[in-house]
Amino acid sequence: MGLFSGAKTVDADLVTYGYLSLARLQQARGRGADARATLEEFVNLTNQRDFFPLLIKRGEAARARLALMQGDLPAAVSWAEASGLGAYDEATYPREEEYLTLVRVLIAQGRLDSVGSYLDDALGLLDRLFETAEAGGRIGSIIEILALRALALQARHESSETLATLERSLVLAEPEGFVRVFVDEGAPMEALLWELFKARRRGPREAHQHLLLGYVRFLRAAFESPHASTDPPTPRGYYTRGQDQPLLDPLTAREREVLKLLAEGLSNPEMAARLFIATSTVKGYVHIIFRKLEVDSRTKAVARARELGFVSEQ
């Protein structure tokens, strides 16, 4: 039975999003055959319901990207040749997903043929996509474009620029906890993250570098168990700035709020008044915070919170 079977008048954009998201989820969980079947069903549905051409093209690009993820480069190249897209197009936002898929195809071809212009074409196209995304303030697109640019530079063996570009992507991605945008790129990205980790660990260990290293470790762990879930929760709080170690039981948003007030030196009644909750509730939050941070006093909790980067230094 289809994803939207029985729904006679469902918005085509919603249907498209549903099928493409389901296929991505299935692939992430190691169910490649199911992902292919889902996209095949989507293509059949678009033909039956006469979808808007751009939505049909999104589905075709999704099939090409899935082919790349499953190691079928010839199928992806066939899509690229039939798509009508070119590396020198203006690459407008409505077709950004398609152009990013084209970039992935070009990078894959460039890995096999370093003499050709595939990688130059990919980098040129990424430059134009970046300008458009930056002008539109689309952070998610910028993160993905920079990640792909790092992969293209990696294929050209430009180590220093590769790591700098990947780091720019990670710095933007870390606050929002992006995971699949990196993990879905497979072994080349995993290797690149490891190279960045080794290079930055040897360098100065300032606060932002500690946080970056923790995020990279978090992402590398996702590669080790890629089928456990799709995007895990935001990784802030799953690792420390000082030790790059995960926090086994992450703090909730409310617990972080209480922790910040605690760091300001407020008493339990003062925090209760500030948060409009009972003093007994505040005591419960403080107890939970102590347990999660593995401390037994307010002073130690504040020190630990500063180490983790939950509260700023004073």
DSSP code per residue over 64-75: HHHHHHTT-HHH
Looking at the domain assignment, is residue 93 inside a domain?
yes
Tell me: do 128 and 258 sit in the same domain.
Answer: no
Q: Measured between alpha carbons, how far is residue 265 from residues 15, 138, 276, 301, 302 in Å?
A: 52, 39, 18, 12, 9
| pLDDT score for 228 | 44
Tell me: do 122 and 179 sit in the same domain.
Answer: yes
Could you give the number of structural domains in the chain? Answer: 3
| pLDDT score for 229 | 43
Contact 35, 26 (CB under 8 A): yes
Tell me: do 112 and 233 sit in the same domain.
Answer: yes
Tell me: do 89 and 226 sit in the same domain.
Answer: yes
Tell me: do 115 and 134 sit in the same domain.
Answer: yes
Question: CB within 8 A of 123, min separation 6: which ones?
Answer: 149, 152, 153
- Boundary residue ending a domain (217, 246, 275): 246
Looking at the domain assignment, is residue 100 inside a domain?
yes
Distance between CA 211 and CA 59 in Å, rounded?
37
Contact 38, 3 (CB under 8 A): yes
- Boundary residue ending a domain (246, 273, 291): 246
Phi-psi region of 85 (alpha: psi -120 to 50; beta: other; left: phi over 0): beta
Looking at the domain assignment, is residue 198 inside a domain?
yes
Contact 176, 211 (CB under 8 A): no
Tell me: do 196 and 104 sit in the same domain.
Answer: yes
Tell me: do 207 and 100 sit in the same domain.
Answer: yes
| pLDDT score for 204 | 58
* CATH number of the structural domain spanning residue 303: 1.10.10.10
| pLDDT score for 5 | 45
| pLDDT score for 231 | 44
- Residue showing tokens 């999704």: 62
Contact 92, 99 (CB under 8 A): no
Distance between CA 225 and CA 207 in Å, rounded?
28
In the chain, how many H helices and how many E strands? 15, 0
Distance between CA 236 and CA 117 in Å, rounded?
40
Distance between CA 9 and CA 123 in Å, rounded?
41
Tell me: do 2 and 114 sit in the same domain.
Answer: no
Distance between CA 179 and CA 232 in Å, rounded?
7
Contact 266, 274 (CB under 8 A): yes
| pLDDT score for 96 | 94
Looking at the domain assignment, is residue 76 inside a domain?
no
Distance between CA 224 and CA 220 in Å, rounded?
7
| pLDDT score for 250 | 67
Question: Containing domain of residue 272, as a range?
Answer: 253-308
Tell me: do 8 and 147 sit in the same domain.
Answer: no
Looking at the domain assignment, is residue 313 inside a domain?
no
Tell me: do 242 and 258 sit in the same domain.
Answer: no
Cβ neighbourhood burial of 11 (10 Å; 0-12, 13-18, 19+): exposed
Two tokens at 291?
Answer: 């347990």
The ranges of the chain with pLDDT < 50 are 1, 4-10, 228-246
Tell me: do 126 and 237 sit in the same domain.
Answer: yes
| pLDDT score for 203 | 64
Residue 40 DSSP SS3: helix
Tell me: do 47 and 178 sit in the same domain.
Answer: no
Question: CB within 8 A of 289, min separation 6: which ones?
Answer: 251, 255, 258, 259, 262, 301
Distance between CA 154 and CA 10 in Å, rounded?
43
The pLDDT tens digits for 223-261 are: 876 554 444 444 444 444 444 444 556 677 778 888 999
Looking at the domain assignment, is residue 314 inside a domain?
no
| pLDDT score for 118 | 96
Distance between CA 289 and CA 3 in Å, rounded?
43
- Boundary residue ending a domain (246, 264, 299): 246
Nearest to 255 by CA among 233, 234, 271, 232: 271
| pLDDT score for 244 | 41
Looking at the domain assignment, is residue 206 inside a domain?
yes
Q: Measured between alpha carbons, how far is residue 194 from residues 188, 216, 227, 248 in Å?
A: 10, 8, 20, 23
